[in-house]
Amino acid sequence: MANNTLDNIHIILVGITHPGNIGASARAMKTMGLTQMRLVRPKQFPNAEATARACGADDILFNAQIFDSYEESLQDFHLVFGASARQREISWPVLTPRTCAEQALPIQAPVAIVFGRENSGLTNQELEYCNYLVQIPSDANFSSLNVAAAVQVIAYELRMEKLKNTKFDSALPSPASVENMERLYKHLEETLIDIKFLNPNHPRLLMRRLRRLFNRTQLIDSEVNILRGILTATQEK
């Protein structure tokens, strides 16, 4: 029987320019029982304003992990949710904060919920690493939500899901890690070039669409190994 826990949930803030938003996000996390924060290329951190806005959540700031690379910040996760208000040219599977919480809590492996820059959110390239896009259903006439407020909404839904069920009937198999999935994508691209299905000079959106397909299915490690075995056999032929 798997415990319904928030310990596996990590909040990742990418490219935050205002230190106050980092502190306010830490406060939002702590009020809902989340403790794991990662920062990717913050403009100003550590910073006194971040500490002031944290209002007692100093421990989350102190223990926050800082990364220079977005990809590196995701290497040990098995499921990644990207929070974004903007529609994209290629659609990702979209969840509400509530359905995000319902999918994240049963996973018995590290899970990341990623928030982007204050002015532009996450890029399409960054979203390629995400299994799902999470959108807060705000008013269409004014959909801009402060990053700390967005963290608060999703953290609240995670806590409500935790309180709803203290235990799950069975643990879901952990999805393959981001690192293993990246190896699969590289192997797949190489194979498609080898068999002349993909022109490396004109890749268009093929690899992005394939990423979307496999991210949606949430492959586990054994399935990744099977697919890579098929790719290897294909290359040998």
Q: Find the CATH number of the domain harbouring 42.
A: 3.40.1280.10
For residue 174, the model assigns a pLDDT of 84
Number of independent structural domains in the chain: 2
Answer yes or no: is pLDDT of 145 > 60: yes
User: Are 136 and 27 members of one domain?
Assistant: yes
What's the pLDDT band for 172 if we cut at 50, 70, 90?
low
Domain end point (choices 168, 187, 215): 168
- Which of 89-93, 118-122, 142-146, 197-201 is least confident? 89-93
On whether both 124 and 223 belong to a single domain, the answer is no
In a domain, 173, yes or no: no
Q: Do 105 and 26 fall into the same domain?
A: yes
Exposed, middle or buried: residue 116 (CB in 10 Å: 0-12, 13-18, 19+)?
A: buried
Final residue before a domain boundary, out of 137, 168, 199: 168
Phi-psi region of 51 (alpha: psi -120 to 50; beta: other; left: phi over 0): alpha
Identify whether 216 is part of a domain: yes
The pLDDT value recorded for residue 193 is 92
Do 205 and 128 fall into the same domain?
no
> Tell me: the pLDDT tens digits for 175-193?
999 999 999 999 999 999 9
For range 190-205, the mean pLDDT: 87
Residue 67, domain extent: 2-168
Rounded to whole angstroms, the Cα distance separating 124 from 205 reads: 11
* Over residues 208-224, mean pLDDT: 90
Whether 50 and 129 map to the same domain: the answer is: yes
Q: Determine, yes or no, domain membership for 163.
A: yes
93 domain residue, yes or no: yes
- Say how far apart CA 105 and CA 28 lie, in whole Å: 18
Predicted confidence band of residue 2 (pLDDT cuts 50, 70, 90) = very low
Q: Which of 168, 201, 219 is the last residue of a domain?
A: 168
Find the range with the poorest average confidence among 79-88, 146-155, 209-218: 79-88
The reply to whether 200 and 116 lie within a common domain is: no
User: Does a structural domain hold residue 16?
Assistant: yes
**Residue 43 shares a structural domain with residue 152:** yes
Q: HSE on the CB side for 42, CA within 13 Å? A: 21
- CATH code, domain with 217: 1.10.8.590
Residue with tokens 């996450």: 122
* 225 domain-assigned: yes
Same domain, 205 and 102: no
Q: What is the pLDDT of residues 25-43, one digit of tens each?
A: 999 999 999 999 999 999 9
How far apart are alpha carbons 57 and 55 in whole angstroms?
A: 6
**Do 63 and 8 fall into the same domain?**
yes
Shared domain for 44 and 142, answered yes or no, is yes
